[in-house]
Amino acid sequence: MSDAKKDSGDLMEKLVALCKRRGIIFQSSEIYGGIGGFWDYGPLGVELKRNIKAAWWEDVVRANDNIVALDCSIIMNPKVWEASGHVGGFSDPMVDCKECRSRFRTDKVAYVSLAKGENVLLAAAVEADDDPEAVAAAIATANSKARRRIENAGDELTKTVTFLSAIPEGETGSCPKCGGELTEPREFNLMFQTYVGALQDSSAVAYLRPETAQGIFANYKNVLDTSRMKLPFGIAQIGKSFRNEINPRNYTFRSREFEQMEIEFFCHPDEAEKWYIHWRDTRYQWYVDHGLQSDKLHLRDHDPDELAHYARGCADVEYDFPFGQAELEGVANRTDFDLKAHQEHSGRDMTYFEDELWKTEAPKYTADKFDGDKKAAKKAAEEAKSKMPYRFTPFVIEPSGGVDRATLAFLCEAYTEDEAPDEKGNMQTRVVMKLHPRFAPIKMAVFPLVKKDGLPEIAHEIHNEAKAAGMASFYDEKGAVGRRYRRQDEVGTPFCVTVDGQTLEDQTVTVRDRDSLEQNRVPISEVISYVRQRINR
RNA sequence: GCGGCCGUAAUUCAGUGGUAGAAUGUCAGCUUCCCAAGCUGAACGUCGUGAGUUCGAAUCUCAUCGGCCGCUCCA
């Protein structure tokens, strides 16, 4: 194991231990042995996560006139998931090899037979996406003798490719890797199932949503009809989603219950590319602005062959976690795929009518433009109104971020060990969470330097004032002040306010900066606004 | 899902068949006018869980749950 890898592994272990010890993240149901893929946020963790969500909400929903928000139910009519493709289409049947334990998608295993007349020259099981690839892969397995025969066969060569997915039920294939026997195909559906109502029969089956997006699409018409929004506009939502991940791993990164913060931004198809670029760059910058400015943050455009079938463009904001580079947020141009799918499945009209454009151009369709033929004018108008540029299905740009992933990335980025002097001036290792002040669970801690001489009373007063002013403040009078500073460093508190002997004389306190360790004297009357101003800048 | 390693206090770990430990942290008090290791005292353990072997199991066996690493998967 390389040193870098070992160090990053250490970082993850230290972070996990710190998060447990300081009440940031706990394993769910820990007293019962836990449950894989589920995590709880402790007293400080929930504040951190709330602050991250609040920042997103302020920057996305409140700051943009063309974005409104929504809070959809987690369980929806199951037809939603048929329309979206989560039931049926995408839940690929899989097979396992009983010999070598490899797993394959049935539509990726092909059986190739190359024959000249009735003479089979080559039969092979291969992994492939399509027929030509399968043939090529099969030939690659052939020995030189067989290869020569195949080449010599020329036009007489018959190529038969059968994918495992097309093999009749009851029959099993052989493993492309080892030739072993494969299991029957099995459905892997990543959606959690439940039953709505007391009767647990098949008609009552419902699903916990695997993404928040579909609730937005299903409500697109409602929002359009009630919010007085016009294209382009976005609908934002923060909420829990659930995926029955085969193998949850990497702390909270791949959880089975997770929270998404997501925008579905609806726009004219001609403007989709422009908005895609806009959101991709805006969302990337958001992470930079909140502390992931290091070279660990990446904006990665997907290769065309990597794109989902419905997407025309997709970029991931990725972060170098200790366990590897992984996605924080995906920004995709989903085209009109979703609205069209819901229109088809629900029978509801999902198109958009540009009435302002129509109003200005309607005079083109008056009778006098058609030699006084009112009927022809009306017909032409109706026809024009029914299609572009007046009526169309909007395209959707989807910036979809993982709240828990963002939280984890900010935690990883914030974890720092540096050197600070102890009371004797010896340098000691200091653990400090350099969280963005906006995210810090506690913004300001208030200490009396010593627990006597009336200092605690003054400190209490400052603390109460801070709370009244809406500042997340924390009071601590226990033990040596250095220890209190270090405790706050560990949870990322940006400022510590200390009441000392001089306070009694001139009504000033010291404000100590988490990162620089510098202290400034500030009048008590100004301390809250001082801290607030330093946090916001 | 497969393979390997692991699970003991809040945290990090020691303890290989015979009375559960250390350090750090936490709490109470003292001390202390500014950066954790000054003093005194205290609390804290279903040894992941269940079964088995044994006179006796943290220790051995099996199962199960959870975690880490590598594959695999990720609409």
Contact A121, A131 (CB under 8 A): no
Are the CB atoms for A407 and A413 separated by under 8 Å?
A: no
Mark whether A335 and A224 lie in a shared domain: yes
In a domain, A437, yes or no: no
**Residue A125, strand partner residues:** A111
Same domain, A462 and A522: yes
Q: Which nucleotide is nearest to A13 (CA to C1')?
A: B68
Residues A160, A232 share a domain: no
Helix (H) or strand (E) holding A533: helix A527-536
- What ipTM, to 2 d.p.? 0.91
Closest nucleotide relative to residue A498's CA, C1' based: B34
pLDDT at A522: 95
Same-domain status, A246 and A335: yes
For A104-163, how does the pLDDT look when each residue is reduced to its tens digit (9 = 90+)?
A: 667 777 788 888 877 888 887 777 777 777 788 778 777 788 888 888 877 778 888 877
Whether A436 maps to a domain, the answer reads no
- Reported as half-sphere exposure (CB side, CA atoms, 13 A), residue A315 has a value of 19
H-state helical runs in A181-212: none
Residue A394: predicted pLDDT = 95
Q: Are strands A519-523 and A508-513 parallel, antiparallel or unpaired?
A: antiparallel
Closest C-alpha among A453, A507, A506, A448 to residue A480? A448
> Is A9 inside a domain boundary?
yes
Q: Are residue A169 and residue A126 in the same domain, yes or no?
A: yes
CB atoms within 10 A of CB A452: 9
Q: Count the alpha carbons within 13 Å of A28 in the hemisphere toward its beta carbon.
A: 12
| Rounded CA–C1' distance between A102 and B71, in angstroms | 10
CA distance A67 to A471: 28
Q: Cis (ω within 30 of 0) for the bond into A456? A: no
In a domain, A431, yes or no: no
Q: Which has the closest alpha carbon to A433: A5, A19, A3?
A: A19
State how beta strands A313-321 and A427-433 pair: unpaired
Task: From A140, A157, A187, give the residue that closes a domain.
Answer: A187
Question: Residue A266 forms beta bridges with which residues?
Answer: A233, A396
Residue A473: predicted pLDDT = 95
Same domain, A57 and A150: no
Rounded CA gap, A217 and A310, in Å? Answer: 15
Closest nucleotide to A501's CA, by C1' atom?
Answer: B33
Q: Which residue, of A392, A416, A451, is where some domain finishes?
A: A392
Token reading at A241:
């989603």
Closest by CA position to A319, among listed A340, A300, A339: A300
Mean pLDDT for all residues in chain A:
87
In a domain, A107, yes or no: yes
Closest nucleotide to A482, Cα to C1': B35
Is A492 part of any domain?
yes
Nucleotide nearest A245 (Cα, C1')? B74
- A230-267 burial, b for 16+ CB within 10 Å, e for fewer? ebbbbbbbbbebbbeeeebebbbbbbbbbbbbbbbbbb
Q: What is the pLDDT of residue A352?
A: 93
Task: Return left, alpha or beta for A246; rule: phi > 0 is left, psi -120 to 50 is alpha, else beta.
Answer: alpha
Place of tokens 């090529």: A136
Same domain membership, residue A209 and residue A163: no
The total number of structural domains that make up chain A: 4
Neighbouring CB atoms inside 10 A of A474's CB total 20
Distance CA A304, CA A312 (A): 8
CA→C1' distance for A32 and B10 (Å): 17
In this structure, is residue A354 part of a structural domain?
no
Q: Using one digit for the tens of pLDDT, what is the confidence trace for A341-360?
A: 999 999 999 999 988 888 88
The percentage of residues in chain A with a pLDDT greater than 90, rounded to a whole number, is: 54
Average pLDDT on A248-263 reads: 92
With a CB cutoff of 8 Å and minimum separation 6, the contacts of A445 are A473, A474, A475, A476, A484, A488, A493, A495, A496, A497
Give the pLDDT of residue A249.
85
CA of A208 to C1' of B24 (A): 43
**Bases on strand B under 7 Å from any protein CB:** 1-2, 7, 10-13, 25-28, 30-38, 46, 48-49, 65-75
Range in A47-56, A95-104, A198-207, A264-273 the model is least confident about: A95-104
What's chain A's length in residues?
537
The helix or strand, by DSSP H or E, that contains position A502, with its residue range, turns out to be helix A501-506
The distance (Å) linking the CA of A442 with the C1' of B73 is 39
A13/B6 CA-to-C1' distance in Å: 14
Domain encompassing residue A380: 360-392
Q: Which residue has the tokens 């609908």?
A: A235
Query: A252 with A386, same domain?
Result: no
Contact A11, A431 (CB under 8 A): no
Predicted local distance difference test score (pLDDT) of residue A69? 95
pLDDT at A4 over 50: no
Residue A198 maps to a domain: no
Is A365 in the same domain as A264? no
Q: Are residues A216 and A320 in the same domain?
A: yes
**What CATH number is associated with residue A447?**
3.40.50.800
Closest of A209, A212, A257, A261 to residue A50, by C-alpha: A261
CA→C1' distance for A128 and B71 (Å): 20
Q: What is the pLDDT of residues A460-478, one digit of tens each?
A: 999 999 999 999 999 999 8
**Which residue is closest, via its CA, to the C1' of B10?**
A21
In a shared domain, residues A82 and A211:
yes
Query: What CATH number corresponds to the domain at position A239?
Result: 3.30.930.10
Residue A5 pLDDT > 50: no
Q: Say what the pLDDT of residue A2 is.
A: 39
Domain termination site, one of A159, A187, A215 = A187
Tell me, yes or no, whether A281 and A305 share the same domain. Answer: yes
Spatial separation of the C-alpha atoms in residues A247 and A426, rounded to whole Å = 46
